[in-house]
């Protein structure tokens, strides 16, 4: 995981603990005040929300505890590996796109963060500028040329 990714996980964890959990506790207390819990839809909804929040808190705490943080700014080289920001050109259309290879829990394709386990990432790992890679996609085989590899 990158240091940036760990920070995002910690921020979400803090938000869940400091904001969401108290809201759920308050909703449970209000629902209990309405009486009979067996037929109380508000209570059941609050319990379900509590399970979701607590589950996510547990998941995030596990990620933070097991995180192996890699400082991308200390990496360098010409080969594509975890943390690299890679600029690719689609051989068919000529369009270019850039992605940073990150851990699966911090991937966000719209933000340009590609999971290291994604087929495209697996195809480019170990390659260098100028290499052409073929990737099987839902739309068929696609070829990309690696235009630039950066570590920032």
According to DSSP, residue 73 is labeled G
According to DSSP, residue 69 is labeled -
What SS3 state is found at 151? Answer: coil
Please tell me whether residues 59 and 105 are part of one structural domain.
Answer: no
Please tell me whether residues 61 and 15 are part of one structural domain.
Answer: yes
pLDDT tens by residue, 2-49: 888 899 899 999 999 999 999 999 999 988 887 777 777 888 899 999
Q: Which one, of 21, 26, 22, 30, lies nearest residue 51 by Cα?
A: 21
Contacts of 24 (CB under 8 A, 6+ apart): 46, 49, 50, 53
Boundary residue ending a domain (51, 66, 81)? 66
The whole-number pLDDT of residue 143 equals 93
Please tell me whether residues 57 and 21 are part of one structural domain.
Answer: yes
Please tell me whether residues 86 and 41 are part of one structural domain.
Answer: no
Distance CA 6, CA 67 (A): 7
Q: For residues 2 and 74, is the Cβ–Cβ distance under 8 A? A: no
Boundary residue ending a domain (66, 87, 117)? 66
- What are the E-state strand segments in the chain? 85-90, 96-102, 113-115, 132-137, 140-150
Return contacts of 130-137, CB within 8 angstroms, 24+ apart.
Answer: 132/91
Tokens of 132: 């052409």
* CATH at 103: 3.10.50.30
Please tell me whether residues 26 and 94 are part of one structural domain.
Answer: no
pLDDT tens by residue, 43-101: 889 999 999 999 999 999 998 998 888 888 777 778 899 999 999 999 888 899 999 99
The predicted model gives 118-134 an average pLDDT of 93
| pTM, to two decimals | 0.71
Please tell me whether residues 135 and 96 are part of one structural domain.
Answer: yes
Please tell me whether residues 10 and 78 are part of one structural domain.
Answer: no
Structural domain count of the chain: 2
> Which residue in this structure is represented by tokens 């360098």?
76
Please tell me whether residues 92 and 135 are part of one structural domain.
Answer: yes
Q: Which one, of 150, 61, 144, 145, lies nearest residue 100 by Cα?
A: 150
- CB atoms under 10 Å from CB of 82, counted, come to 16
Structural domain range at position 13 = 3-66
Please tell me whether residues 58 and 80 are part of one structural domain.
Answer: no
Please tell me whether residues 99 and 130 are part of one structural domain.
Answer: yes
Please tell me whether residues 144 and 99 are part of one structural domain.
Answer: yes
Please tell me whether residues 60 and 85 are part of one structural domain.
Answer: no
């Amino acid at each position: 995981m990158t240091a940036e990714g760990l920070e995002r996980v910690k921020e979400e964890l803090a938000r869940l603990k400091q904001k969401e959990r108290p809201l759920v506790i308050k909703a449970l207390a209000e629902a209990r005040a309405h009486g009979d819990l067996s037929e109380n839809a508000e209570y059941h909804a609050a319990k379900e929300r509590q399970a979701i929040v607590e589950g996510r808190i547990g998941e995030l705490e596990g990620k933070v505890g097991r995180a192996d943080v890699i400082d991308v700014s200390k990496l360098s080289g010409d080969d594509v590996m975890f943390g690299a920001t890679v600029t690719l050109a689609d051989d068919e259309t000529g369009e270019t796109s850039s992605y940073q290879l990150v851990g699966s829990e911090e991937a966000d394709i719209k933000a340009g963060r590609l999971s290291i386990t994604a087929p495209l990432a697996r195809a480019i790992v170990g390659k260098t500028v100028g290499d052409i890679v073929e990737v099987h996609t839902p739309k068929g085989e696609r070829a990309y040329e690696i235009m630039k590899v950066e570590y920032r």
